Amino acid sequence: MSTSAERHSESICEQIVTAVADREGVDPLDLVPLYEAVGPEPRRSLFASASENVGRPSASHSFTYHGYEVTVDGDTVDISKQPERPDSELSSPR
């Protein structure tokens, strides 16, 4: 799924939370807040105001949110479901 500038009225953060909630069939307020799920560097970029980024090249950031791989590149958001790992990969002793 890709979203971009067609949702100008929503921030990147709102786009991410809304898209994941839609895919999960839940209210966005039922999800863990995005700021709790994202590390400090991507969080600074995601929450920075547009005026702070004028004239700067956009950086691409990827992180996991509620079982989805999220990549933000400028004003484009890509969200894909993370593949589930078989139980054998989760608990096999090595």
30 inside domain:
yes
Please compute the mean of the pLDDT values over residues 58-87 and round it to a whole number: 82
52 inside domain:
yes
93 inside domain:
no
87 inside domain:
no
Instruction: Output the pTM of the full model.
Output: 0.66
22 inside domain:
yes
12 inside domain:
yes
The model's confidence at residue 86, banded by pLDDT at 50, 70 and 90, is low
37 inside domain:
yes
- Domain residues for 6? 2-82
CA dist., res. 69 & res. 52, Å (int): 26
The model's confidence at residue 80, banded by pLDDT at 50, 70 and 90, is very high
On the question of pLDDT at 67 being above 60, the answer is: yes
88 inside domain:
no
As beta bridge partners, residue 70 has 63, 79
On the question of pLDDT at 1 being above 60, the answer is: no
**Total tally of structural domains belonging to the chain:** 1
pLDDT in tens, 4-59: 434 456 788 889 999 999 999 999 999 998 888 887 776 776 666 444 555 554 66
